[in-house]
Amino acid sequence: MKNKITTILFDLDGTLIDTNELIITTYLHTLEKYYPSKYQREDVLPFLGPTLHEAFGSINPDLVEEMVLEYRAFNIANHDELVTEFAGVFETVQSLKDKGYKLGIVTTKRHDVTLKGLRLMDLERFFEVVVTYDHVSKTKPDPEPIFKALEQLESSPEETMMVGDNYHDILAGKNAGTVTAGCAWSIKGRDYIAKYEPDYILENMADLLTILGE
């Protein structure tokens, strides 16, 4: 690694917290209401990552707002029951914080739901900056959310690593000029994240400590 990494930005869903089951269940619930018996589990996997408006807009642009409201209501109601933790995340993030790294979240989720997830897993205290859907005009893979986080952290892209489980995390990092790390535990599989050529692939979040020489 050419530059010393001082700053690490994380995606939230599927990276720090396991919201996969919640998201899939919520999409299936919402789509079942509008298109009974049409969508199966594998049909909604491509929707993990993009914003709700992008996902529902690809199905029916006229019903986007209505479907987003339905999605959010169900998602919030079932959030704490269906969200779980990934092995190694809490300990790794705590260790990075203790070692003085600047930590931030960059997600396409809304701010209120992001905080709900962070608090549920007791992760909120480790992050100085949280940039969400509400804070930007363009979401990942556009670099805007990363630049916004770095501005608040007073860090440069060269000293930053973007960690995520989805293509738009890796592309956002590349577009912003950061080092990138993909999560092999992406619900779409290791090969999926590998094809976007992140600088590193993490088999477990603890791999970050090894990569950073900690």
Q: Is the dihedral of CA 137, 143, 149, 150 positive or negative?
A: negative
**Do 18 and 88 contact (CB within 8 A), yes or no?**
no
Instruction: Rounding to the nearest 10 degrees, give the CA dihedral for residues 66, 72, 75, 79.
Output: -170
Q: How far apart, in Å, are the Cα atoms of 9 and each of 27, 51, 106, 148, 164? A: 27, 19, 6, 11, 9
- Separation between Cα atoms, residue 143 and residue 166, nearest integer Å: 15
Token code pair at residue 76: 């919030």
Residues serving a catalytic function are 11
Q: What is the DSSP letter of 13?
A: B
Q: Is 139 exposed, middle or buried (0-12, 13-18, 19+ CB in 10 A)?
A: buried
- Separation between Cα atoms, residue 196 and residue 200, nearest integer Å: 11
> Hey, is 139 helix, strand or coil?
coil
